[in-house]
Structure 1
Amino acid sequence: MKRKSIIILLWVTLGTTLFFFLFFNNEKTFRNFGITFLICTMYSFILGFGNMIINDFLNKKFPWSETTRVRAFLSIVSIIIGNFILVYFCNYMNYVVIQKSATIEEFFSAKYGFMNWFTINIALLISAFLHAKSFMEELKKTSRKEVVEQKLIAKSANAQFESLKNQLDPHFLFNSLNVLSSLIDENPRQAQKFTASMSKIYRYVLEQKDKELVTVEDELEFAKTYCELLKTRFEDSVDFVFDVKKEDYRRFVVPLSLQLLLENCIKHNFATSSKPLIIRIFSENDTLCIENNLQVREQIKESSGIGLANIVQRYSLLTKRNVFIEKSEDYFKVKLPVLSVKPNVVSTPVEDKDKAYERARKRVREMKSFYGNLISYCIIIPFLMIINLITNPDNIWFVFPMLGWGIGLAAHGMSAFAIGKRWEEKKIREILEKENKQ
């Protein structure tokens, strides 16, 4: 048992000792105080320690965060059975062994039945409060753990995304300079034209490098400009065909994906006037396809694989939809998912964060209100029981406020913990995930 738990039980013992000694003891002597203290110590430590063992065992075998429903059911059953046994044991030790005010037969008769039932009810109220407290502590730990994990995931994803985007500048610049170097020897005039166009394209690269997604229309405009540069170098050896549906123009793709794939087409295939390389960019079933006839050139140097791998990784950080690659003897095709909405996986907008914070705050207020209500119930109902039994034991009226308030408390608990509303949240998440996949 932890030191903190022992201190709490000692304070409970002292409080109950003073209560029973002052209000239920006719002879105010040190001997009676000592006996009362020992009896209260027995009740406090046996009931407290017993409930702690049950709670710790359930926490290990059935944590609240993993098996909430099973744990709730087992907590209720264990509270009832455990406290029934513990209370009967304590009462037996008190009345039969210590005070010797009853025989074994009398203790199990109707005479002491009401006293046992009354003590069990008080024990159940206190035990319910302790289990609820345990649930709150587990909830806080789980929430903190989830927050830390989500922050680490977000930071990791953000760092990874930035790293992937930073590959694009040197990669594009290196390939463009290679093209320019070839043109300077072959056609200096075209080299000048290429340099002017390259500056225009590089401006687009700089503008889009901080964006997670761009519209298909913007990406196509950029791709067409880039294709003009390639035509400048390869002339009739390369031909480009654009056949993208107009309805796809306002949808989204990863920026610079077309440019990287066009580079791959040129890099991995030979192109001549007699055997031109034909590159098609078209729409197909919610994807943007880049297809070329396969004319594989012999690679002197092994490819770095930056282009296609970069696109695949960036898509994986933004959506669950995959980039598909098809290869046959005649053609090579890459299918890029076209997204209807902008998923925001790496960072969360400030407005969404504020809304989430407000929802969390509201939930905490509701839970705090529920536990305040529960504590009041655990204090006031036993107090009403005692008043009822002292003033008018023949008329048991405390049952009515106990049941009425108890039903209200149960309803409050269901509202605070969103019991019955989880299916709504689950359905909302399913619909949102389905929309993000489109």
Structure 2
Amino acid sequence: MSQYLRFIVISPVFGILSYMLSYYSQIGELPSLKEEFLPYLTSATFGLLAGFSAMGIGKLLNNVVSWKKKHSFRFLVQCLALFMVGCILIVCYLELFDMILGTKMTYEKFWLEYKDEFLKTLLILFIFVFIYTILDFMIYSFNYLKKEEIQSVEMINNQMNLQFKALKSQLNPHFLFNSLNTISSLLYKDPEKAEEFIRKFAESYRFILDQNDKALIPLEQELAFVEAYNYILRMRFQDSYKLRIDLPELVRHSFVPPLSIQMLVENAIKHNLICKNSPLEIKLKCKDNYLHISNNINPLREQAESFHIGIENIKKRYAFFTNDNIKLEKTDFFTVSLPLINENNRHLN
């Protein structure tokens, strides 16, 4: 049942019940529907007006003082607003009856004759307003918690999807094929280096499979993986490739989404020419609370789509933990700057 339909059904009922209660407190018996049809109809109409007034006030206050920001203040303001509107509707209700009956009663006379009944009506109104505001807060709390649970599940699903895409990008057949070729070549030239290469190769893939289900990992773990991955790259490219890591110890205790730095290193490998005449150098350094990963530019060929997919993956994963944006800068060097995530974000892991 929609919110509007609930108000259309429930509000007139409350209006009728209020009239019946007021009538009973004065006369001592319930009003007859046949004899008091017009008061019943009028009470139902004013109940409907009161219901839509309450709904309108609630929507207005949601834009001014929402439940989420200040519970107590919102409760007080809503009670006062509803009570004032209720008082206005009661006065209009009494004026309408005075016009229908033609009594031409003055306010002074009405107060002398019906003071007790009027005060009882105000008390009933206050009780209704208080109960309604409590129910409104309970409904808001229930819907808010339900929404938070749904958003939490969606966030986890999005994280897992992004991490699965990152995992797929690292388990690509080209890297595996090149690594196996390197192993095959080393087995004949230098068996000891071949053994070390296989160990680092296995270490890299073990890290990918073990850490990729985590939202955040310590930067020092990611760097350990990058070092293992870097050994494989150095064996392939020899002196044509260098990786320099210049990070203070304090920065190493921050956190990063797994595979984020490795993806940027791999992007640099994919999109640049690597040879003795055009060596590739990748640098990692920290400045202004950002981790900067930069490389000199030796363009090989355009692969804009695969490049942007990797960057977008990293951006979306970082967005779960920080409002700071990832920065891209292209001069003589291409630099990606990742915001540092500190210990306070660890609970999101």
Instruction: State if a TM-score over 0.5 links the two structures.
Output: yes
Conservation of the 8 A alpha-carbon contact between 1:17 and 1:37: no
One-letter code aligned to 2:267: N
**Structure 1's 132 and 67: CA in aligned 2 closer, same or farther, altered over 3 A?**
farther
Deviation at 1:133, TM superposition (A): 3.5
Rounded to whole Å, the distance in 2 between the matches of 1:91 and 1:121 is: 18
1:303 alignment partner AA: S
Which residue is 1:337 aligned to? 339
Q: Which residue of 1 aligns with 2:289?
A: 286
What SS does the corresponding residue of 2:343 show, helix, strand or coil? Answer: coil
Question: Tell me, what secondary structure is at the counterpart of 1:296?
Answer: coil
Q: Which residue of 2 aligns with 1:115?
A: 113
Give yes or no for contact 1:84–1:120 (8 Å, CA) kept in 2: no
Partners of 1:119 and 1:62 in 2: CA distance = 29
SS in 2 for 1:319: coil
Listed one character per residue, the Cα deviations across residues 107-144 of structure 1 (whole Å, up to 9, x for unaligned) are: 32745432344443222222233333333343344334
The alpha carbon displacement at 1:86 in A equals 2.3
Spell out the pairing of 1:154-193 with structure 2 (5 A cutoff).
Answer: 154-174=152-172, 175-184=174-183, 186-188=185-187, 189=191, 193=196
Of 88, 93, 99 in structure 2, the residue corresponding to residue 81 of structure 1 is 88
Given the two structures, how large is their TM-score scaled by the length of structure 2?
Answer: 0.79
Match of 1:152 in 2: 150
Deviation at 1:177, TM superposition (A): 0.4
Identify if the C-alpha distance between structure 1 residues 12 and 267 changes in structure 2 by more than 3 Å, giving closer, same or farther.
closer
Alpha-carbon deviations, 1:148-199, whole Å to 9, x = none?
3323322222111111111233322225303214425654455554332111
Q: CA deviation at 1:90?
A: 3.8
Separation (CA, whole Å) in 2 of partners of 1:258 and 1:285:
18
The SS at the match of 1:151 is helix
Aligned residues: 327
Q: Are residues 1:198 and 2:217 paired? A: no
Q: Find the counterpart in structure 1 of residue 129 from structure 2.
A: 131
After superposition, the Cα gap between the structure-2 partners of 1:9 and 1:301, relative to the gap in structure 1 and judged at 3 Å, is closer
SS of the residue corresponding to residue 182 of structure 2 reads helix
SS at 1:332's partner residue?
Answer: strand
Q: 49-58 vs 180-189, which deviates more?
A: 180-189
Q: What is the match of residue 63 of structure 2?
A: 66
Identity of aligned residues (%): 21
Say whether the 8 Å CA contact 1:209–1:255 is kept in structure 2. yes
- The match for 2:49 is 53
Change (3 A) 1:130 1:181: same
> Is the Cα contact below 8 Å between 1:65 and 1:142 reproduced in 2?
no
Distance change (3 Å), C-alpha of 1:213 and 1:128: same
When structure 1 is superposed on structure 2, of 186-195 and 317-326 the one drifting more is 186-195
C-alpha distance in 1 between matches for 2:300 and 2:88:
79
**Structure 1 counterpart of 2:293, which letter?**
I
Stretches of structure 1 that go unaligned for 5 or more consecutive residues are: 24-32, 98-103, 348-438
Q: Which amino acid aligns with 1:65?
A: N
Aligned partner of residue 326 in structure 1, secondary structure: strand
Residue 237 (structure 1) aligns with: 240
Secondary structure at the aligned position of 2:329 is classed as strand
SS in 2 for 1:295: coil
Do the aligned partners of 2:16 and 2:44 also contact (CA within 8 Å) in 1?
no
**Which one is further off, 288-297 or 334-343?**
334-343
Counterpart secondary structure, 2:63 = coil
Q: What residue identity is the alignment partner of 1:66?
A: N
Q: Secondary structure at the match of 1:210?
A: coil
Inter-CA distance 111–9: structure 2 relative to 1 (3 Å threshold): closer
Contact kept, 8 Å, 2:24 with 2:31, in 1: the verdict is no
> How far apart are 1:203 and its partner, in Å?
1.2
Describe the superposition over 1:193-234 as per-residue Cα deviations: whole angstroms up to 9, x where unpaired: 433211111111222112111112212222112111111111
Q: Unpaired runs of 5+ in structure 2?
A: 1-6, 66-73
Larger Rg over CA atoms:
1
Instruction: Report the TM-score, using the length of structure 1 for normalisation.
Output: 0.64
Question: Could you tell me how far 1:275 is from its partner in structure 2?
Answer: 2.6
